Amino acid sequence: MNKIPVFIVSFLVLFFSWDLKAQSKLESFFTPSDSLNQPRKNAVFATEGVLLGGTLIGLNQIWYKDYPKSSFHFKNDNNDWLQMDKIGHLYSTYHIGRFGAETLAWSGASEREQLLYGATLGFAFLTTVEVFDGFSQEWGASWGDVIANATGTGLYVSQELLWNEQRIVSKFSFHRTRYAKLRADALGNGFNEELLKDYNGQTYWLSVNLHSFTKAKFIPEWFNVALGYGADGMISGNEDSIPQELLAENHRTRQFYLSLDVDLTKIKTKSSVLKTVFSIFNTVKIPAPTLEISSFGRTKWHLIYF
């Protein structure tokens, strides 16, 4: 064997040896502790404090500071956006709470602490945002939002108490619509803004794991059926301030969906890294064949819907 092959073989051995060590360290880091790891627990609380505190400070600077303050007050917005914003609150509190509980589980915290300090994280954060709204003259705190926040937290906590697993998962999907071009200031200008603002393109789902409920051996453990809710034809929260010509062209309608889905957390793997990745992406529904039924009674099949 000449020098070049020896050098190449030596390099490959060193490279893959380093790579395996790196993988091992990564796996070790993401593997949940089987007993309380206080440094991890402290890191979880510190990271959450920095991220959520920084987000609130950023919201105050970007969203609220240019509008006049007022005494704390409530505003009834329960009829706006055909309640799509309320479903969004449920989705957000569910997953922020889920991630809060899972990170505490990673630190080895007790199940009681996971539910008490982790699962309630979404409710605490988004209800604080409601307080900000309440002191802003432009908006106002919403009881509907608070109830939606509590419902999202309750969806997670109740399943942990009943079944010690999440059999029903809140999920999200989005597609761009023509409405953003009609009112870019309200519905977003560009994909990133539209993703947050254009409720016409958002769909929220309850993804149900059939195997967990039936225990049927012929049903794959990862197989889900998803029930979705969306809306269309919305140029603003309500129709009061919209020009008549826009109203005539765009009819507000609720949309209900039935589709197939996958619970990524039910896919069997020994890798803690993959389990973490699957947990993160389990917030989003996979594109799949879907039946749509509108509030006007019209039905439509989608070969692939997202």
Q: How many residues does the chain have?
A: 306
Regarding whether 270 and 139 lie in a shared domain, the answer is no
E-state strands within 197-251: 202-209, 223-232
Regarding whether 185 and 155 lie in a shared domain, the answer is no
Is the separation of the CB atoms in 128 and 64 below 8 Å? no
Residue of higher predicted confidence among 131 and 26: 131
Q: What is the chain's mean pLDDT, rounded?
A: 90
Residue 22 lies inside a defined structural domain of this protein: no
The residue among 126, 141, 165 that closes a domain is 165
Regarding whether 136 and 194 lie in a shared domain, the answer is no
Give me the pLDDT at residue 2, please.
Answer: 47
- With CA atoms as reference, report the closest residue to 293 among 236, 247, 206, 227: 227
Domain range for 292 is: 167-306
pLDDT above 60: residue 60: yes
The residue among 165, 195, 222 that closes a domain is 165
What residues pair up with 258 in beta bridges, in sequence order? 227, 291
DSSP state of 238: S
Give me the pLDDT at residue 23, please.
Answer: 73
Quick: pLDDT tens for 238-269.
866 565 555 555 688 999 999 999 999 999 99
Quick: pLDDT tens for 179-212.
999 889 889 999 999 999 999 999 999 999 999 9
H-helix segments, the chain: 3-30, 38-59, 84-106, 111-113, 121-134, 143-163, 179-182, 184-187, 191-197, 210-214, 244-249, 272-281
